Amino acid sequence: MLDLKEEDFTEIEFTHAVLAAASDVFTAQEKKYLGQTRLMKLVAFTADLLEFPLTRGWYRYGYFAPTSNQCISDFLNYYQTFERFPDLQNTWRDDSMRNVFRDAVKSLKQYFILNNNDFDTWVHEEMAPPLYKAYYRYETLFYNTLIHIRKAISSKQPLELSDFNSIVTDFEHSLEYVEDPKALELLFDYVDFWELLVLRIQKRGVTSKMEPFVTSLIRIYHEFLRPALSPYEKTLHGMNAEQEREAFKRKMKADLRQFEDEMKFLEDMARSSSLLATPDEIREELGQRTADWGENKRKNFRKILTEYMGGSSWQT
């Protein structure tokens, strides 16, 4: 493929060139698949094919190009699809470039008209760097399980949670690349807290106070902790990668502080509203499961259990 250089296009110009090619390649019906996030991924994967140094990396939803994302969001809101295009008539400096971009987009088109599940599978399981494929598989499963719990509580449907512990374990094992001890500590506390909540549901069912509580619990993970666990910082590359990396690190530092503060508030709310398992329920469950746990998991579970029990000592 063509080896494009930084001097050939700015990041915004490159984004416009891909959008113009997509306008030619996708039919009106096919453009209905092209929402904001798919278009941004189309630009990022086209940059791979054309070896253009677009700033990009692997974020919580997969491939992410910050400049392209901002450029696309300027004319297309999150819930719209790419049915009407901005004026891109002046995109091409050289008409010979048009076919190069069209061919690149055409080679990707078959994946961008898949349904959501198949598209996500292609991105996460086929295109993600090998080191991070397990993360995208198990983190997505973990997050979707939290959403499932919230929906079941909201609709008052029965909950089947027998696989929750194995889902948590697989997710934690997929994070071997994470080097930030603070992010890992907060995650371990977070999933242990969920286990206390799930155990309470398994033993005594749900209460009316659980729905808003669980909604807040999921929100703070998605907004503040989930990005910090992604491999974005490690995978950033392109012409402005260093600036983006430093900005991301500053944002994550602030976000983790915010997560910790909100988590403390939710822990107090859970205790005061009796939304967690009782000490007796925990003792019974812990005795059944700790033999299969690693020391890190036992240590973190003991920590949150001790806090929940008011600081009394606990041995496992």
Place 313 in a pLDDT band, splitting at 50, 70 and 90: very low
Reported as a single tens digit per residue, the pLDDT across 199-245 is: 898 888 888 889 999 999 999 999 999 999 999 999 999 999 999 99
Residue 141's pLDDT is what? Answer: 95
Name the residue with higher pLDDT: 229 or 154.
229
Cβ neighbours, 10 Å, residue 215: 12
Place 75 in a pLDDT band, splitting at 50, 70 and 90: confident
**Which residues make Cβ contacts (< 8 Å) with residue 294, sequence separation at least 6?**
none
Residue 281 in contact with residue 203, Cβ under 8 Å?
A: yes
Average the pLDDT over 167-191 and give the result: 95
Q: Which amino acid is at 315?
A: Q
Residue 34 in contact with residue 42, Cβ under 8 Å?
A: yes
- Lowest mean pLDDT across 20-24, 86-90, 228-232: 86-90
At residue 139, does pLDDT exceed 80?
A: yes
37 by Cβ neighbours in 10 Å (0-12 / 13-18 / 19+) ranks as middle
At residue 152, does pLDDT exceed 80?
A: yes
Q: What does pLDDT average to over the chain?
A: 87
At residue 315, does pLDDT exceed 60?
A: no
d(CA 105, CA 48): 11
Residue 314's pLDDT is what? Answer: 37
Average the pLDDT over 171-195 and give the result: 95
- Lowest mean pLDDT across 75-89, 157-171, 210-224, 250-264: 75-89
Reported as a single tens digit per residue, the pLDDT across 25-38 is: 999 999 999 999 99
Helix (H, G, I), strand (E, B) or coil at 167: helix
Average the pLDDT over 10-15 and give the result: 92
What tokens were used for 280? 């007796």
d(CA 196, CA 174): 22
What tokens were used for 174? 């997929």
**% of the chain at pLDDT higher than 90:** 64
* DSSP secondary structure, 47-85, as one string: HHHHT----BEEETTEEE-HHHHHHHHTTS-TT-BTTS-
* DSSP secondary structure, 96-160, as one string: HHHHHHHHHHHHHHHHHTS-HHHHHHIIIIIIS-GGGHHHHHHHHHHHHHHHHHHHHHHHT----
Q: What is the pTM of this model?
A: 0.84
**Which residues make Cβ contacts (< 8 Å) with residue 4, sequence separation at least 6?**
14, 50, 51, 52, 53
d(CA 138, CA 50): 31
At residue 137, does pLDDT exceed 90?
A: yes
C-alpha torsion 151→35→125→184, nearest 10: -60
At residue 307, does pLDDT exceed 60?
A: no
What tokens were used for 307? 């806090």
Average the pLDDT over 73-93 and give the result: 67
